[in-house]
Structure 1
Amino acid sequence: MADIRDDFRRFEEMMNRMFEDFWGRPRRQLLPSGERGEMLPAEYRQPFIDIVETDKEVIATAEMPGLEKENIKINLTEDRLEISAETKKEEERKEKGYVYRERRSGSYYRAIALPSPVDPNNAQASYRNGILEIKMPKTEVKEKKEIKVE
């Protein structure tokens, strides 16, 4: 039995997609969308994600530049994908007459409903050049059958 929170999360994702399509960029989230239902801070960025569905798998590709793969966390269930990451960098250079110090930090979070049920135990993820790719095999691979019209 689906939890009512799952229904609200799907509704939120639909509304967020609608706002993204209308405004051309992600807007503030309307409902709590953290892992445990808490509101996400405004400094969280939502990575752009492409979802491709083939006969045997669902492939998610997310743009997440500037991260180390060790800082990326993926939670996957049969019908939902959650991606989060945090990065913190501190750089300091001392040169003749001055000290250069820079601190950067950033956080990513995105949760999406998947178009088909997947097998979380056999999913694979890779991260190269700022692009995260997650391949998720479908649990039900259905064969297409052509039906003739009479």
Structure 2
Amino acid sequence: MALVRWQPFQEMGDLQRQMNRLFDDMVAPADRRDGVGALFSPAAELEENEDAYHLKLEVPGMEPGDINVDVTAEAVAITGERKSEQKTENKGMTRTEFRYGKFQRVIPLPGRINHQNVSADYKNGVLNLNLPKAEDEKNKVVRVNIGQ
């Protein structure tokens, strides 16, 4: 058995590289790490009332044609792409902090909906979905047995 010299600073460097890779992967997956098409996830808000669920999704700077909404009885899947404006400057540097690229959000719903009667509205960068509840969900009463 050979003796190996312990090199704590090398191990710290390895740990730092692993942590950097972990945080890089959280911000942009390895296949999209070039910064051009970094993924983003729009903010969403879900509210419920007696008759429907109301879902709001924040997608500023997009056209309604760039957003796809697929609805099932149990979930809403929203996909889209924010396209970047191609600007080039001969002198100087161009810097942008806007996020461009594709996004996908699948939002599970707390109850079943009537997915045939979903309506959508897009105004001022906010997508509003009205998701009417299924009739059997509206009148659903569950009896709870209390045992000794």
Superposition TM-score, scaled by structure 1 size? 0.58
1:41 to partner: Cα distance: 6.1
> Paired residue for 1:54?
49
Of residues 60, 63, 87, the one that matches 1:65 is 60
Select which of 54, 78, 83 maps to 2:73: 78
Deviation for aligned residue 1:49: 0.7
Q: Deviations over 1:57-87 (max 9, x none)?
A: 0110011111000000011100011111102
Helix, strand or coil for the counterpart of 1:121? Answer: helix
Letter in 2 for 1:63: E
Gaps of 5+ in 2: 1-24, 142-148
- What's the secondary structure of 2:42's corresponding residue? coil
Match of 1:112 among 103, 107, 122: 107
CA distance in 2, matches of 1:74, 1:102: 32
* Contact 2:81–2:100, Cα closer than 8 Å, also in 1: yes
Q: 1:107 to 1:83 in 2, by over 3 A?
A: same
Deviations 1:90-133 (A, max 9, x none): 34589xx86x9899732221111101101111001111111010
- Structure 1: tracts of 5 or more residues without a match: 1-26, 29-39, 145-150
52-61 or 107-116, which deviates more: 107-116
Q: Which has the higher helix share?
A: 2
Amino acid at match of 1:142: N
1:121-132 equivalences under 5 Å are 121-132=116-127
Separation in 2, partners of 1:134, 1:127: 9
Instruction: Determine if contact 2:39/2:100 at 8 Å carries over to the other structure.
Output: no
In the aligned structure 2, how far is the partner of 1:50 from the partner of 1:64? 12
Q: Work out whether residues 91 and 102 of structure 1, in 8 Å CA contact, stay in contact via their aligned partners in 2.
A: no
What is the match of residue 142 of structure 1?
A: 139
Q: 2:39 aligns with which of 44, 48, 59?
A: 44
More strand by share: 1
List structure 1 runs of 4+ shifted beyond 3 angstroms: 91-94, 100-105
Q: CA RMSD in A?
A: 3.3
Q: Is the 8 A contact 1:119 1:138 kept in 2?
A: yes
Per the alignment, do residues 80 and 126 of structure 1 end up closer, same or farther by CA in structure 2, a change over 3 Å counting?
same
